[in-house]
Amino acid sequence: MTFCTNCGDVIDRSEWYSFAARRDGDGTLQTYAFCSEKCRSEYFDEPIAADN
């Protein structure tokens, strides 16, 4: 099972879900899965990008 990094909800991996990868202070790649763009935005404290 995959869980949302922000809210902990179970993510249905058969459908699209938001995913991010970032390097931590030691240079290790950390991966994050999110159930929605809202949870991703809240976790990283970044605004949701507007569609252009």
Q: Catalogue all structural domains in the chain, each as residue range(s) with its CATH number.
A: 2-44 (2.30.170)
Indicate the length of the chain as a whole number.
52
Q: Tell me: the pLDDT tens digits for 24-50?
A: 999 999 999 999 999 999 999 877 766
Please tell me the pTM assigned to this model. 0.77
pLDDT surpassing 70 at residue 15: yes
pLDDT at 47: 75
Residue 43 neighbours by CB distance under 10 Å: 16
Please classify residue 16 by burial: count the beta carbons closer than 10 Å to its beta carbon, then call 0-12 exposed, 13-18 middle and 19+ buried: exposed
